[in-house]
Amino acid sequence: MKERTGKKRNLKYIFAAAFIMIMAMGTIALTGCGDSGGGETVASEPEPIINPITGVEVESEDALPARPVQVSIPNDTYGAVPQSNITQADIIYEFPVEGELTRLQAIYYGDIPDKFGPIRSVRYYFVDVATEYKACHIGYGWGKNARSYMNSNNVHHVNGMQQTELFYRVSDKAAPNNAYTNWEDVKAFGEKHDWFTEKQVIEPWTFRTEKWEKEQKEAKAEAQKVIDEKSGSTDEEDVKAVEKAEALLAEPEKATSLTVKALGCNSTCKWDPEKGKYLRYWYGEPYVDKETGEQLEFDNILVQKVHSDIMVDEETGLSDHKGRLTIDMFAGGEGLLFTQGEVIEGTWSRDGVDSRTIFKDKAGNEFAFTPGKTWVYVLDQDKDFSYENDAADEETGDTEETEE
């Protein structure tokens, strides 16, 4: 008995010593990375948590829900404007719909308001935005093919035509632009169906951070080196390399305002250098939030050019009687980014339903957004789009204008 007890004690001491050694080695491994060379250890700074849609740092992971919320909001002149709580959206898409009207898809992630509205029906191409951001969708009604496309892509959604109990009508707006819902009701419904159980990974945009600035400086130095070494060459690869380097070094064009016009919409975004924001106007008047009266302002204006056609009934071969549109959100095309009073021209492309739309400049680099909120104009061929440099008026008395 004594011998067995002694063995147990010895084993106990051996295990204790081994545990102490392991803990000590772990401490060395953890602190060794921060050793300044003088024997002192420096604790490494934790990586900041960034909202992938805005590029803005948030306090903690808990500040961002498991997935964003996307809301279908009318944007017409017969009672839709002004809308509620759209100043809180991280990014807003303005899509063409029938009759040359537009409809918004407001995406909330960093700051979700207590209520959304007014809410209107879904067009099937709105679903392509929801899959891109892994968002749950809120709408009231369905355009042709929208419901089946939503379901086939497994997009979580609530709709006033199905979950009527989650919606209500306000008295200070006329139908159909008066349907609203509350975030707490949508959240409770989503939690019941496990929408917010698993944290979604959203591919971030490229943002103009200190790291990006440093990389740009290094890339421009390399580009100048390529030009210096290869500008006299007639070799095809060298010529292409020089062209790419020149595109990288080219100064961005100044553009302080842009305007979009059609039968059912007329909006302008103007760069305010004092605020460092683009202020949005609607038919010449400030475009404001119904709840706060504040004018909407953005750090970036993104233009995504698409082609639309009127839907054709597969059985009859006739055009849709309401003029509803079909838009391919994967076809690629021209893209422009307005940020910090400048315009960057380029292209957009998208590989698949679950991938992010990629915008690149003429040098082949992704558009770099100023951290903050973004307005996206999805423009078809029916929209009259132009931008100009109003600052040129003050300097020369002339205004540079480009028709798109």
Q: What is the phi/psi pair of residue 84, to 5°? A: -95, 135
Coil, strand or helix: which one is 171? Answer: coil
pLDDT digits (tens, 9 = 90+) for 17-71: 444 444 444 444 444 444 445 556 666 777 889 999 999 999 988 899 999 999 9
By the 10 Å C-beta count (0-12 exposed, 13-18 middle, 19+ buried), 254 is classed as: middle
Q: How far is CA 221 from the centre of its chain?
A: 30
How many helices (H) and strands (E) would you count in the chain?
Answer: 7, 27
**Total-model pTM:** 0.85
Give the span between the Cα atoms of 367 and 301, in whole angstroms.
12
Query: What are the structural domain ranges in the chain?
Result: 1-44, 55-404
Angle, CA 283 vertex, CA 279 and CA 285 arms, to 5°: 50
Check: CB of residue 350 under 8 Å from CB of residue 382: no
Give the span between the Cα atoms of 364 and 360, in whole angstroms.
5
Give the span between the Cα atoms of 262 and 291, in whole angstroms.
27
What type of residue is 112?
I
User: Which long-range contacts link 99-102 to residues 24+ away (Cβ below 8 Å)?
Assistant: 99/263, 99/264, 99/323, 100/262, 100/263, 100/264, 100/265, 100/382, 100/383, 101/75, 101/76, 101/264, 101/265, 102/75, 102/76, 102/262, 102/264, 102/265
Check: CB of residue 204 under 8 Å from CB of residue 55: yes
Check: CB of residue 174 under 8 Å from CB of residue 193: no
Angle, CA 105 vertex, CA 115 and CA 341 arms, to 5°: 110
Angle, CA 387 vertex, CA 347 and CA 88 arms, to 5°: 80
Peptide bond into 286 cis (omega under 30): no
Beta bridge partners of residue 64, listed in sequence order: none
Q: Which residues contact 357 (CB under 8 A, 6 or more apart)?
A: 132, 304, 329, 348, 349, 350
CATH classification number, 55-404, choose in 3.40.50.970, 1.10.3720.10, 3.50.90.10, 1.10.10.10: 3.50.90.10
- From first to last of the 404 residues of the chain, give the pLDDT tens digit: 444 444 444 444 444 444 444 444 444 444 444 444 555 666 677 788 999 999 999 998 889 999 999 999 999 988 999 999 999 999 999 999 999 999 999 999 999 999 999 999 999 999 999 999 999 999 999 999 999 999 999 999 999 999 999 999 999 999 999 999 999 999 999 999 999 999 999 999 999 999 988 988 888 888 888 888 888 888 888 888 888 888 888 788 999 999 999 999 999 999 999 999 999 999 999 999 999 999 999 999 999 999 999 999 888 899 999 999 999 999 999 999 999 999 999 999 999 998 999 999 988 899 999 999 999 999 999 999 999 997 665 554 554 555 55
